């Protein structure tokens, strides 16, 4: 008998206790996570500072539509998604396929331990380490290039390279974590499936493309969704430390744009309008991913 069968027997007298147990955290979640949804939409129709706001209707939305910086941050966010998501979905898959057949458990564990490391390091703080790596004067990257005989560059000051620096730092953060997720999923694939496919004459590539992708499709979907959320949200830390959105706004994502509006210019109404639009876009993208996945993802 399991715990769930146990609770069915004793539920008559536990209603009040159960509610009392979950009430504190639910209250906090309502106040600091769910209520802000409504609050944010409300604030987006106002003008003012943190203390007082006056109602201005849809003015903030109209102003945003005319703001080229807003559009640029949306386009930059789309570029982040277009470049980073495929990168951190595909590369870890290949790496996981390499980890999978390793025979020595200790070797496997060693790779796993190292690859997971960026997940637990403070991203904003490691961005300061990257600031040094990209430093034009004596930074490790330029020193390395000099040794190889290439020209040093001002990586974070150039509109052509700054975007790719943010991509590189984000890839550094995500690739190892996703590799471990994939490796765990691949290990859970029953050996008989692989065997059956092999007896049918499936080659290595065929196996990887059809069988593995299909069998671990829930994990791939999970990685796609979390990577998309990462580039709209968490990449903020790297942007704020490395480029502050520059040069010329080429690295500014939607969250950074909103943060500047709210915390630098104290434009609460417009910032809330950005948040509302961004939430609709994020939810729409996630919904689209889940919807498209329905045809391709197989849970068993």
Partner 1 sequence: MFTMTKPESSSVESTDRRRHRRPWLSHVVLILCCIATVAPLLWVLRTAVSTPASVFDAGFNPFPTDPTWQNFPSAFSLAPIGRWFLNSAGIALAITIGKLCLTILAAYGFAFFHFPAKNLILSLAVGTMIVPNIVTLVPNFVTIADLGWVNTPQGVIVPSLAFCGFGIFLLRQAMLQIPAELLRAAEVDGAGAWTVLWKVVLPITKPAVAVIAIMYFVWAWNSYLWPLTVLTDNETRTLPIGLQFMASDLEGSQLWGELMATTLLTIVPPVLLYIAAQRAIISTFARSGLHG
Q: Give the residue, chosen from 219, 243, 250, 251, that forms a contact with partner 1 under the rule CB under 8 A.
A: 219
- C-alpha 243/C-alpha 273 separation (Å) is 24
Contact positions with partner 1 (CB under 8 A) in 91-110: 94-95, 97-103, 109
Q: Give the residue, chosen from 106, 204, 294, 295, that forms a contact with partner 1 under the rule CB under 8 A.
A: 204
Q: Is 191 in the site for partner 1 (CB under 8 A)?
A: yes
Q: Is 167 in the site for partner 1 (CB under 8 A)?
A: no
* Region from 58-66, 67-75, 81-89, 255-263 binding partner 1, contact rule CB under 8 A: 255-263
Q: Is 32 in the site for partner 1 (CB under 8 A)?
A: yes
Which C-beta is closer to partner 1: that of 65 or that of 94? 94
CA atoms within 13 A on the CB side of 134: 23
Q: Give the residue, chosen from 58, 62, 65, 117, that forms a contact with partner 1 under the rule CB under 8 A.
A: 117
Q: Give the residue, chosen from 57, 62, 113, 209, that forms a contact with partner 1 under the rule CB under 8 A.
A: 113
- C-alpha 113/C-alpha 109 separation (Å) is 6
Residues 186/212, Cβ–Cβ less than 8 Å: yes
Contact positions with partner 1 (CB under 8 A) in 52-91: none
Q: Give the residue, chosen from 167, 239, 259, 285, that forms a contact with partner 1 under the rule CB under 8 A.
A: 259
One-letter-per-residue 3-state SS of 144-176: HHHHHCCCCCCCCCCCCCHHHHHHHHHHHHHHH
Q: Give the residue, chosen from 79, 81, 133, 247, that forms a contact with partner 1 under the rule CB under 8 A.
A: 133
Cβ neighbors of 234 (< 8 A, separation 6 or more) are: 123
CA angle 168, 235, 31 (to 5 degrees): 165
């Amino acid at each position: 008998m399991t715990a769930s069968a146990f609770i069915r027997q004793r539920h008559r007298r536990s209603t009040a206790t159960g509610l009392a147990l979950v009430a504190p955290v639910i209250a906090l979640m309502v106040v600091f996570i769910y209520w802000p949804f409504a609050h944010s939409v409300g604030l987006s129709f106002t003008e003012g500072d943190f203390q007082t706001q006056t109602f201005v209707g849809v003015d903030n939305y109209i102003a945003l539509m005319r703001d080229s910086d807003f559009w640029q941050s949306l386009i930059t966010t789309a570029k982040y998604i277009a470049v980073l998501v495929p990168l951190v979905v595909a590369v870890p898959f290949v790496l996981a396929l390499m980890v999978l057949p390793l025979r020595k458990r200790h070797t496997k564990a060693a790779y796993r331990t190292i690859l997971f490391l960026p997940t637990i390091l403070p991203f904003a703080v490691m961005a300061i380490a990257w600031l040094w790596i990209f430093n034009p004067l004596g930074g490790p990257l330029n020193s390395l290039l000099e040794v190889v005989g290439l020209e040093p560059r001002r990586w974070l000051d150039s509109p052509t390279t700054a975007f790719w620096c943010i991509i590189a730092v984000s890839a550094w953060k995500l690739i190892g974590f996703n590799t471990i997720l994939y490796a765990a999923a691949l290990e859970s694939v029953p050996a008989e499936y692989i065997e059956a496919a092999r007896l049918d004459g499936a080659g290595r590539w065929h196996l990887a493309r059809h069988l593995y992708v299909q069998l671990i499709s829930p994990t791939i979907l999970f990685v796609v969704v979390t990577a998309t959320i990462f580039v709209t949200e968490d990449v903020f830390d790297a942007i704020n430390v490395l480029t502050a959105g520059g040069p010329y706004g080429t690295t500014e994502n939607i969250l950074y744009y909103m943060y500047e509006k709210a915390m630098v210019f104290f434009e609460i109404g417009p910032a809330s309008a950005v948040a509302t639009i961004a939430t609709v876009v994020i939810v729409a993208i996630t919904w689209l991913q889940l919807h498209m996945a329905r045809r391709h993802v197989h849970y068993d």
